[in-house]
Structure 1
Amino acid sequence: MRLMRLLLPLLLLLTLSGCASTGASHWVELGGARYQVELATNDESRARGLMFRDEMPADHGMLFLHERQELQAYWMKNTKIALDILYFDDQRRLVSQQRDVPPCSAGDRCPPYPSSGPARYVLELNAGQAEKLGLQDGAQLTFGPGIADQP
């Protein structure tokens, strides 16, 4: 019985680490750079976004997939890192940029950062990435394998 109590946590740890290593890795390319992205494909994951993160690696981001192209507005509620918020249309062309958006801890009083035109995809990267890439409206976003056009 004692051996079982010692082995059970080890088995649980091995099972959990196996699950984490088999997770799909998604990427996008923009401006000649590749970013590993987390996907936000439903209302819950889009609402949570990058909240409560203390940092994000320079080559990472979050890709938000919406069901249809329309005006979008994002905010920084409970977001601790400055971001570039990039809006793309149905053809994955950059239609609007909000650069160097500061963190916000003011809860529901955090301001919105709207797109200037209809967008279907939103990519959040660490602040400064858009400038580093020299992004201009019309830049093409490329999806890696495993990212569907629709959530």
Structure 2
Amino acid sequence: MLTDEATGSTGAPQTRDYFAEMYVAGILADAGWDVYFPRRDKGFDMIISRPSGASTIVRPVQVKGKYSTDEKTDKARYGYVGRVTAFHNDMILAIPYFTSQSLGAPMLIAWMPRAEIKQHKKGWRCEPARFVEGVPEARPGFAHFFGSAGLSAFEAEVGISNI
């Protein structure tokens, strides 16, 4: 469990954010994507690419991990609300959902396209999950954004040409 003593605050420690980024990078690499990290952590957390015929698909990625505690109550909408440091039409917003019982691996990962990131009074929001009885789950109508099906959707559109 993430406690004030372990984190220094009520939120997730910065090391958990790095862990979420590395976990997502591992999933992407396992799925056949090449993963590149920027020299400075400004804007996107990583850039991914993979060959596609005579072209290369290129996607910028931001990772926004969710870290529920044992005290978290049920929520009809659960996801990221806050600042997004960079946007691109071909971007992926990856939201790994950890619980206090699943700190070693997220229970779910949402792979969200730019069109699903909406303006909000606190900046931006993307809430494809809900939180029910201590567990995150896909909201109705959003299941196709999760898991391998959600990630494979980003293979469809060709990005920058190799030629």
TM-score (norm 2): 0.32
Bigger RCO of structures 1 and 2 (CA < 8 A, at least 6 apart): 1
Larger radius of gyration: 1
TM-score (norm 1): 0.34
